């Protein structure tokens, strides 16, 4: 019997980058998707912001109000933007902590920059797994893989905005700008759907 293929070390990272939130997603009806996304959140969620307890200085306790993902900052709204030669997702808050929002977004940018994937190096989907899927599942898996490829191979930069932070995505191939912008729109809608929820403490590691 053929041994199961070990997951590529970047697979969970790319899912987390695709969501760009570190926020726990709503359960999805698509088989296996919720488990994959939850695993990505556990592996790459932003660390909680802990503050020393006043009663026990040696102990560290997470602040109830401390955000652990960009969308958890009060009043934050994401927006997909098409730029000249790049796509972007702008995170802007109307009344929240702008500095904290920028910190949370910058964490995601730095993760990507540290694990950037060169074009052509992302492992392809397993043909045997694809063969076991229904046509609808196979199309969904192929679409997710292509979204991951576009994000993983893009150059990602953070740019401060007056009320937040921009995640600028420059495609590895200029001809794929339209597709990358569509992914940015998809991510933005997902972020709006997920809302301000963040991973539970035991899901962060």
| pLDDT tens digits, one per residue of 27-49 | 444 444 433 333 333 333 333 32
Q: Which of 178, 46, 28 is nearest to 100 (CA)?
A: 46
Q: Any idea what DSSP says for residue 122? A: S
pTM for the complete prediction?
0.66
| pLDDT tens digits, one per residue of 130-161 | 999 999 999 999 999 999 999 999 999 999 99
- Confidence tier at 103 by pLDDT (50, 70, 90): very high
Helices 33-44, 11-19: inter-axial angle, 10-degree rounding: 90
Q: Where are the domains of the chain?
A: 11-47+65-203
Euclidean distance between the first and the last CA atom of the chain, given in angstroms as a whole number: 32
- Confidence tier at 67 by pLDDT (50, 70, 90): low
- Give the pairing of strands 76-83 and 50-52: unpaired
């Amino acid at each position: 019997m053929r041994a199961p293929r070990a997951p590529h070390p970047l697979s969970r990272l790319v899912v987390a980058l695709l969501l760009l939130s570190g926020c726990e997603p709503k359960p999805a009806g698509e088989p296996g998707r919720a488990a994959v996304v939850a695993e990505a959140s556990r592996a790459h969620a932003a660390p909680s912001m802990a503050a020393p307890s006043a009663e026990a200085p040696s102990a560290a306790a997470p602040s109830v109000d401390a955000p652990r993902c960009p969308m958890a900052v009060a009043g934050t709204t994401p927006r997909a933007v098409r730029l000249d030669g790049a796509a972007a997702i702008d995170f802007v808050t109307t009344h929240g902590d702008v500095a904290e929002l920028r910190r949370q977004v910058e964490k995601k940018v730095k993760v990507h920059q540290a694990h950037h994937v060169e074009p052509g190096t992302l492992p392809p989907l397993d043909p045997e797994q694809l063969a076991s899927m229904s046509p609808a599942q196979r199309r969904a898996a192929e679409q997710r893989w292509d979204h991951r490829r576009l994000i993983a191979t893009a150059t990602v930069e953070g740019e401060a905005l007056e009320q937040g932070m921009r995640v600028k995505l420059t495609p590895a191939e200029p001809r794929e700008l339209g597709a990358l912008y569509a992914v940015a729109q998809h991510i933005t809608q997902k972020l709006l759907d997920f809302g301000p929820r963040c991973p539970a403490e035991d899901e962060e590691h």
